[in-house]
Structure 1
Amino acid sequence: MPTPTTRTIVMTGATRGIGLEAAQELLRRSPETHLVVLARADSAAQVLPRLRATSPHVSAIEADLASTASTGTAASRVEDLLDAGGLPPLGGMVFNAGVHLDSAVHTTVDGYETTFAVNVLATHLLLRGLPPHLRAPARVVVTVSDAHFGDLRHTGGAFPATGWTSPDVLFRPGAYPRPTRVRAGRRAYATSKLGGIHLVHEWARRLPSGIDVVAHNPSLVIGTGLAREAGGASAFLMRYLVPALALTPLVDTPPVAGRRLADVVLGVTPAPTGSYVHRTRVTSSSRESYDAGREEELWAWLEQTARDVDDGSCGVPGAG
């Protein structure tokens, strides 16, 4: 007889790579958990049988994170189910979805630059309505990347320095020099991951005691598929060079990285709210990532955008 569920964990990015491995770990190690997967319908359909082979306590809600309307609808659906008792109380959230594209000119249906829209805006839209439903002790985990350092030591030169300006600029296509080039896509990715850390810091100031939010950096992982749309030499490096490092401590496989992500979600890895977990331990993120003024500015922009989503007026002014 299946173990009754006593809490819900909501997760994005659970349909492949690290996220899929972590989702399976959560279901294996926490049988009292009901996992809600937020994903496109076709992706969810492919992965649900595999997850339900581990536990029957899995459901999916359709969400296209590149659409503010779809993301907002998914968040409302989660709230409605929690309010109606269709799901057990919310005990955690995992924001693992992310994109890494071949330029900085890809545009969402709302007119936003796609990397920032998916990696930052969607996280905030999904999280903002759910704190009243989170039951302490609970943990919110946002997957980030050491790409946000943008230096040789942390990225081996694979990513340029971040290019933070202001949210009004960063969420528009073409925010970086020579925006159609692969390097601009990498800069957008690194900068969006910096934005994710800023968001974690600001949420940590606002969530009540017992509701922790942490940033998790899995570091370099082979076989995740993240580089499939990154362009340039990324696919070649991830297919041929990086696997050669798999026998070293520098690189993890998806199963190992997934277990580590599950450890963070389940609290096995100790981490105070607002912290940055590098693989298995709390450490410091980049010096640039600790900027309270920048974090407050990002928060204000995201909140205004969220209000625009609520009243149906969301979108970059003048975007086609």
Structure 2
Amino acid sequence: MKHTIVMTGASRGIGNIAAVRMLRDTEDMHLVVTTRNRGDDLVAQLVRDSGNRQVSWVDAELSSLSPIRSAAAEIAHRLDSGLLPPLTGFVGNAGLQLASGNRATEDGIETTFAVNVLANHLFVRLLTDHFAKPARIVITTSDTHFGDLRHNMGMVPAPQWTSPRALMTPGTTKTTDTLTAGRTAYSTSKLAVIHQVHEFARQLPAEVEIYSWNPGFVPGTGLVRDASAVQRFAMKWVMPLMTLTPLSVSAKTAGTYLARLMVRGHSADSGAYISLGTAERSSQESYNPDRERELWRECEKVCDLS
């Protein structure tokens, strides 16, 4: 059956590889990718590399709520008018790591949280009524949410959870305009993603499953493009050598696993944490229904969905 999957974060790195793989392996799938401004070049690249012409784009600046609403409305229009086959999936792969925790979106929200958490919440909520059954949602998280040396190799600080409203607010401490603060905001946002997925698993209709997905440490993807020139050089040219060790994986490997999870699904229950291709327990801290409900309520308020 022909069907549609919507994907954010398909323009580079893991997401681009996953998008190509999904298109190559699933001829009856139409992939809608989100882009900033026109996406003709991205669509042309995906068609060229996959051999599948069933690709289109929709404009969505993921740091701002209004463009996400417009993008979701456009996708809904295409689905309702028959321009797209039924919607069976959403991949929230876009992610951001900044060298500061003090940057605000036009909505006044801390930028890392806006892109890594709120964008997924709003997109999924606006598309929920349009999912055909069965359907699958995958949101990319990170094992940095564990906050220990084994998972972050000392490169990313542990998450620092506070109220969701405070997490959405930029500049809440005197040290927010630092690289450490930016990376802390990143790991905390990835912990929030797991809380978010747990609550979505409770809220979504039957036969719409959702997973958080961890690619592991994947150097050279462009995630740290906001860092200094020296750090960007190291991540692009030095750190990829770690893919020769068990400590990290290549973007190609991670992208293949993401595509496989999206296309084939997993035997784990909805809400599960999937590390590459294996269902595992996320951090002990990530299992907290009170936090999850509070995060849901605040996202609903900020996104004006209540």
TM-score band w.r.t. shorter chain: over 0.9
Distance 1:202 1:25 in 2: 29
Distance 1:231 1:162 in 2: 22
CA-CA distance at 1:175 after TM superposition:
3.2
Matched residue, 1:51: 46
Paired residue secondary structure (1:10): strand
Distance 1:89 1:133 in 2: 8
Relative distance call for 1:274 and 1:177 in structure 2 (3 A) is: farther
What is the identity, as a one-letter code, of the residue corresponding to 1:47?
A: L
CA-CA distance at 1:86 after TM superposition:
1.4
Q: Is contact 1:264–1:270 with CA below 8 Å preserved after alignment?
A: no
Q: Is contact 1:163–1:176 with CA below 8 Å preserved after alignment?
A: no
Matched residue, 2:64: 67
CA-CA distance at 1:176 after TM superposition:
4.6
Paired residue secondary structure (1:124): helix
Matched residue, 2:272: 275
Matched residue, 2:200: 203
Paired residue secondary structure (1:227): coil
Distance 1:214 1:91 in 2: 14
Distance 2:236 2:43 in 1: 27
CA-CA distance at 1:244 after TM superposition:
2.1
Relative distance call for 1:141 and 1:303 in structure 2 (3 A) is: same
The reply on whether 1:22 has 2:47 as its aligned counterpart is: no
Relative distance call for 1:262 and 1:207 in structure 2 (3 A) is: same
What is the identity, as a one-letter code, of the residue corresponding to 1:41?
A: N
The reply on whether 1:126 has 2:123 as its aligned counterpart is: yes
Relative distance call for 1:45 and 1:178 in structure 2 (3 A) is: same
Q: Is contact 2:220–2:239 with CA below 8 Å preserved after alignment?
A: no
What is the identity, as a one-letter code, of the residue corresponding to 2:40?
A: A
Distance 1:296 1:269 in 2: 25
Q: Is contact 1:106–1:173 with CA below 8 Å preserved after alignment?
A: yes
Matched residue, 1:136: 133
Distance 1:138 1:18 in 2: 22
Distance 1:21 1:177 in 2: 39
CA-CA distance at 1:280 after TM superposition:
1.4
Matched residue, 2:5: 9
CA-CA distance at 1:231 after TM superposition:
4.1
Fraction of identical pairs, as percent: 45
Distance 1:176 1:198 in 2: 24
Residue of structure 2 aligned with 1:116, choices 113, 117, 128 = 113
Residue of structure 1 aligned with 2:98, choices 84, 101, 113 = 101
Q: Is contact 2:136–2:265 with CA below 8 Å preserved after alignment?
A: no
Distance 2:295 2:75 in 1: 25
Query: What is the TM-score normalised by the length of structure 2?
Result: 0.95
CA-CA distance at 1:180 after TM superposition:
0.8
What is the identity, as a one-letter code, of the residue corresponding to 2:43?
A: L
Q: Is contact 1:116–1:192 with CA below 8 Å preserved after alignment?
A: yes
Q: Is contact 2:215–2:254 with CA below 8 Å preserved after alignment?
A: yes
Relative distance call for 1:155 and 1:233 in structure 2 (3 A) is: farther
Of 50-59 and 172-181, more deviation after overlay is shown by 172-181
CA-CA distance at 1:204 after TM superposition:
0.2
Paired residue secondary structure (1:121): helix
Matched residue, 1:41: 37
Distance 2:146 2:289 in 1: 18
CA-CA distance at 1:181 after TM superposition:
0.9
The reply on whether 1:293 has 2:300 as its aligned counterpart is: no
Relative distance call for 1:305 and 1:86 in structure 2 (3 A) is: same
What is the identity, as a one-letter code, of the residue corresponding to 2:162?
A: T
Distance 2:216 2:59 in 1: 28
**Deviation digits for residues 255-277 of structure 1, max 9, x if unmatched?**
11111000110125433210000
Structure 2 unaligned segments of length 5 or more: list them: none
Query: What is the TM-score normalised by the length of structure 1?
Result: 0.91
Distance 1:233 1:100 in 2: 16
Paired residue secondary structure (2:249): coil
Matched residue, 1:172: 169
RMSD: 1.6
